[in-house]
Amino acid sequence: MEPLVAKDPRALRDFIFLSAEFEAARGNYTTAIGLVQSLSKTRAQVLVQAGLRNASNRIEDAKLVVDSLQLWLSQFPRDANAWELMSTALLTTGNTVGGIRADAESLAAHWDYAGAVDRLKAAQELTRQISRESGLDATARIEASIVDVRLRSLEAARREQALER
């Protein structure tokens, strides 16, 4: 089947995405990821590959998603879908505060500042709870600082948004 679409780059790309989807449906995530990995780095390739890796529910794959999406989100910080995938990956790796923050960033990218503020307040509360119970490691302290800064920023954006209505 592939030779039929080999001369048309768009058709070939669609064929590869469809083949990856079939492989994922069979539970062959490694094969599906390999198929998508062969494509050039477009938004679709980055997000589909991240989605396939998240679907595998493997911590190793989730760490690869985090690494890949950190670079992507540094270039495209308002990509709500990428933030959703990042949230899933961070939660899979055990970084709950980071996962909640990524969920808040997704909401903010959808202009839902009130929802984003609520998620960040939940992340702050979780950070306080972890700090009381077992203390924060260096990564958690950095994540807590980011949450605090983003909360102030998004609270201001929420107030501004409310004034516009």
Instruction: Give domain limits for the chain.
Output: 1-81, 95-165
pLDDT of 2 above 70: no
Q: For position 39, what pLDDT does the model report?
A: 87
| 6 backbone dihedrals φ, ψ, rounded to 5° | -60, -25
| pLDDT tens-digit readout, 10-32 | 888 889 999 999 999 999 999 99
Measured between alpha carbons, how far is 130 from 12 in angstroms, rounded to an integer? 49
Measured between alpha carbons, how far is 165 from 157 in angstroms, rounded to an integer? 13
pTM of the predicted model as reported, rounded to 2 decimal places: 0.85
Confidence band of 162 (pLDDT split at 50, 70, 90): confident
Reading phi first (left if > 0) and then psi (alpha if -120 to 50, else beta), residue 154 is in alpha
User: How many helices (H) does the chain have, and how many strands (E)?
Assistant: 9, 0
| pLDDT tens-digit readout, 86-137 | 999 999 999 999 999 999 999 999 999 999 999 999 999 999 999 888 988 8
Q: Which amino acid is it at 128?
A: R
Token pair of 110 as six digits:
């959808």
Q: For position 1, what pLDDT does the model report?
A: 53
CB 102 within 8 A of CB 116: no
